Homo-oligomer: A and B are copies of this chain.
Amino acid sequence: MKIVDGGVTAVQGFLAASVAAGIKYKDRMDMALVYSKVPAIVAGVFTTNVVKAAPVKWDMAIIKECETAQAMVFNSGIANACTGKEGDTVNEAMAKAVADALNLKVEAVLTASTGVIGMPIPVDKATTGGKLLVENLTGDIEAGHNAAKAIMTTDTIPKEVAVEFTVSGKTVRLAGMSKGSGMIHPNMATMLAVVTTDVAITKELLQKALSEDVKDTFNMMSVDRDTSTNDTLIVLANGLANNAVIDSENEDYQAFCEALHFVNETLAKLIAGDGEGATKLFEAKVIGAKTKDEAALLSKAVITSNLVKAAIFGRDANWGRIICALGYAGVEFDPEKVDLYIESESGKLKLVENGLTADFSEEFATKILSDKEVTAICDMHQGEASATAWGCDLTYDYVKINGDYRS
């Protein structure tokens, strides 16, 4: 597997477009379209929030009823959540504008929205934007890049990645783009993402691979513990790589899963590191846990603790807060067996040994915590299981962004 240039359009048969439709933002691109020249097997995972946005309900029905889809239209600025029947109507109109222009059935077009909750999307802007998107479709790398930009809200960087790997002698590509910065919490994080691939695979296995992988990637990331109403992750597999169709959990399936995992993990880390106001990516790796589920609970408790996150922002090796977070994760363990390290490109430092402070250099700790990516490694010494979760620091800018977001 190797990383290749670009995002969703790095995969053959996939085109993209973006436009400034004026949904809410002025003078910036705010709608995007990803399109496969041929029908693509489709799989998806969605928010667990009881309150689901109109596009989430729309996509869930498509994933349930349809084998394939061919396009996905996005808007940023307004989430189309808590908008009732009118919201459903606007959502369908947006899909239909794209479907008509592409000569597709409306149910071949997935939708995704992100932004303010409770505000209506102006239907004329959404449909005009939808038509314009189709006119602008191209397969350029740049088109994929601009689509990743158009779906940003409080994100500071567009998020995309593409890889190439081999399945039964054929070269296959898999790429993704995502957005997400605030209202980010596992199951799912608040984010929109689409993964494109030219692999040939059955719908059942595509969904299985996706559902399994999000447990270790998107569902292990949190910016603020707020599970959104709009989380959507879609994979479109158009089969143009012409490999023998993956229809069992064989070597080819493993190769595909590995590529999917890499792309999902990369996007998840990009989202966590670009959390609202964040200055750094904060990773918690729990090892030596009794079970994987327990390791996941423990690692997520660490990255979601406001106190830990504020200490990471302050470059303060306040390890007691990490041990405290482990302690309330809902997992039984012996605190007097825990070892704790911090690690970054500057090096690795043991802070805690057998539950007590290790003799560590505060200066070196501050140096490690000053890097852009910091990992806390918690060795529970209870078993063999491990898990990794991703978050970010809690900063003044998080408060600033969210104290005045709507206006």
A395 nearest CB neighbor, chain B only: B399
Q: With A225-B305, A398-B399 in contact, is A118–B319 under 8 Å at CB?
A: yes
A84 nearest CB neighbor, chain B only: B356
Contact of A227 among B224, B314, B328, B404 (CB under 8 A): B328
- Are B405's CB and A311's CB within 8 A? yes
A143: CB under 8 A from chain B? no
- Are B405's CB and A316's CB within 8 A? yes
How far, in angstroms, from A19 to B400 measured CA to CA in the complex?
A: 40
What distance in Å separates the Cβ of A89 from its nearest Cβ neighbour in chain B? 13
What distance in Å separates the Cβ of A305 from its nearest Cβ neighbour in chain B? 6
Which residues of B sit under 8 angstroms from A395, Cβ to Cβ?
399, 403
- Are B82's CB and A323's CB within 8 A? yes
How far, in angstroms, from A183 to B322 measured CA to CA in the complex?
A: 12
A116: CB under 8 A from chain B? yes
| Interface-centre pick from A51, A318, A335, A405 (highest chain B CB count, 10 A) | A51
- Are A183's CB and B402's CB within 8 A? no
- Are A328's CB and B49's CB within 8 A? yes
- The 0/1 profile, CB within 8 Å of B marked 1, for residues 378-397 of chain A is 00000000000000001110
A3: CB under 8 A from chain B? no
- Are A225's CB and B306's CB within 8 A? yes
- Are B51's CB and A335's CB within 8 A? yes
Contact of A82 among B83, B304, B356 (CB under 8 A): B356
A333: CB under 8 A from chain B? yes
Which residues of B sit under 8 angstroms from A407, Cβ to Cβ?
316
Contact of A396 among B48, B311, B316, B400 (CB under 8 A): B400
The number of residues on chain A lying at the interface, defined by a beta carbon within 8 Å of a beta carbon of chain B, is 64
- Are B310's CB and A403's CB within 8 A? yes
- Are B324's CB and A229's CB within 8 A? yes
Q: With A183-B307, A333-B50 in contact, is A403–B226 under 8 Å at CB?
A: no
How far, in angstroms, from A352 to B81 measured CA to CA in the complex?
A: 13
User: Would you list which residues of chain A between 227 and 267 have a CB under 8 Å from chain B?
Assistant: 227-229
- Are B324's CB and A399's CB within 8 A? no
How far, in angstroms, from A81 to B352 measured CA to CA in the complex?
A: 13
- Are B399's CB and A335's CB within 8 A? no
- Are A320's CB and B82's CB within 8 A? yes
How far, in angstroms, from A326 to B325 measured CA to CA in the complex?
A: 24
A79: CB under 8 A from chain B? yes
What distance in Å separates the Cβ of A278 from its nearest Cβ neighbour in chain B? 12
- The 0/1 profile, CB within 8 Å of B marked 1, for residues 69-80 of chain A is 000000000010
How far, in angstroms, from A326 to B225 measured CA to CA in the complex?
A: 13
A282: CB under 8 A from chain B? no
Q: With A117-B321, A316-B405, A403-B313 in contact, is A327–B225 under 8 Å at CB?
A: no
What distance in Å separates the Cβ of A335 from its nearest Cβ neighbour in chain B? 5
What distance in Å separates the Cβ of A302 from its nearest Cβ neighbour in chain B? 11
Which residues of B sit under 8 angstroms from A333, Cβ to Cβ?
50
What distance in Å separates the Cβ of A394 from its nearest Cβ neighbour in chain B? 6
Q: List 9 A-B contacts (CB under 8 A).
A: A49-B324, A50-B333, A82-B352, A84-B354, A226-B306, A226-B307, A229-B327, A310-B402, A313-B399
7 new A-B contacts at CB < 8 Å, known A84-B354, A226-B328? A48-B328, A50-B331, A50-B332, A182-B307, A183-B324, A224-B306, A226-B307
